[in-house]
Amino acid sequence: MKAIYLIPAALLLFLPALARADLKWEQTSVDVNPTVTDKQAVGHFKYQNTGDQPVHFKSVKTSCGCTAARSQQDQVAPGEKGEITATLNIGDRVGQQVKTITVETDDPAHATTVLTMKANIPQLLELQPTFVFWQAGEEPKAKTISARVGKDIPVKELQITTQNNQFEAKVEKGSEPGVFRIDIKPKETKTTSFATFTVRPDYPKDAQKAFYISARVAGAPGAAVPPAAAPVAAASASPGK
């Protein structure tokens, strides 16, 4: 009597395994290592249909708008190979970026597969902090920003400029290679002001990248900051300086 129930149940569980589509992924997680000059990080997810039925892609969706993914084809015939390519626009991202791609197919055994791309984006220059501020009336002492060049990146010099002459900046080489010290100070803190400093490393020569430091003298809470424009002041640090 028990067999009457168990046999159909077992058939329901195991029969689909006998004849089916079967999309096998070479790997569902890939690590990519773009260089400092790359604008995009690209990951390839290879697959093969090892079943005897074709597989159709129903959708390929990415976890954020910064990543695009596309499949080479909409349908994968039995035995056929292919890949999904995921492209991350690096923009101003740094460090490890984990993006997922959700692939939906009509393969009942693997209806949804989540692919993971880990992009390790090298940091050309780390500024810490990127923002310094003084309260109105505070003593106008210099505040220090540490600038650390990424590992194995041959930056020898930093140039810093601003359009606001209410602030002064000084760049010095640090105690070890690839480390700089940037001192910023307002000339006075009686009036509110805001400045953006542009920091340019001397590498890569053909695709110089700008980094920014903001400095502000804040007035009463919530007070608006007037935009300031003034002649460019520049400072730089290089070996021997």
Partner 1 sequence: MKLGVFRQALLLILLAEVPAIGQAVYFRHKISWQSRVPATQLVNLPTVRTWGANVLWVDARASDDYETDHIPGAISLNEDHWNELLPQFLAQWSADRKVVVYCSAQSCNLAGEVARRLRDEAQLKNVFVLEGGWEEWVKNR
Under the binding rule (CB under 8 A), the answer on residue 232 touching partner 1 is: no
CB-based burial of residue 167 (10 Å sphere; 0-12 exposed, 13-18 middle, 19+ buried)? buried
Site string for partner 1, 154-173 (x = CB under 8 A): --------------------
Binding segment toward partner 1, per CB under 8 A, in 39-47, 79-87, 128-136, 178-186: 128-136
Q: How far is CA 102 from CA 26, 30, 56, 58, in A?
A: 16, 14, 14, 11
Under the binding rule (CB under 8 A), the answer on residue 108 touching partner 1 is: no
Please state the closest distance from residue 82 (CB atom) to partner 1, in A: 23
**Near partner 1 in 8-37, by CB under 8 A:** 9, 13
Report yes or no: 165 and 233 within 8 Å, Cβ to Cβ. Answer: yes
Residue 118 burial (CB count, 10 A): 15
Please state the closest distance from residue 177 (CB atom) to partner 1, in A: 23
Torsion over CA: 155, 143, 168, 194 (sign): positive
Please state the closest distance from residue 162 (CB atom) to partner 1, in A: 11
Under the binding rule (CB under 8 A), the answer on residue 42 touching partner 1 is: no
**Residue 8, H or E segment:** helix 2-14
Site string for partner 1, 82-101 (x = CB under 8 A): -------x-xxx------x-
Q: Which residue has the tokens 């149940």?
A: 9
**Near partner 1 in 50-79, by CB under 8 A:** 63-66
Please state the closest distance from residue 193 (CB atom) to partner 1, in A: 10
How far apart, in whole angstroms, are the C-alpha atoms of residue 129 and residue 151? 19
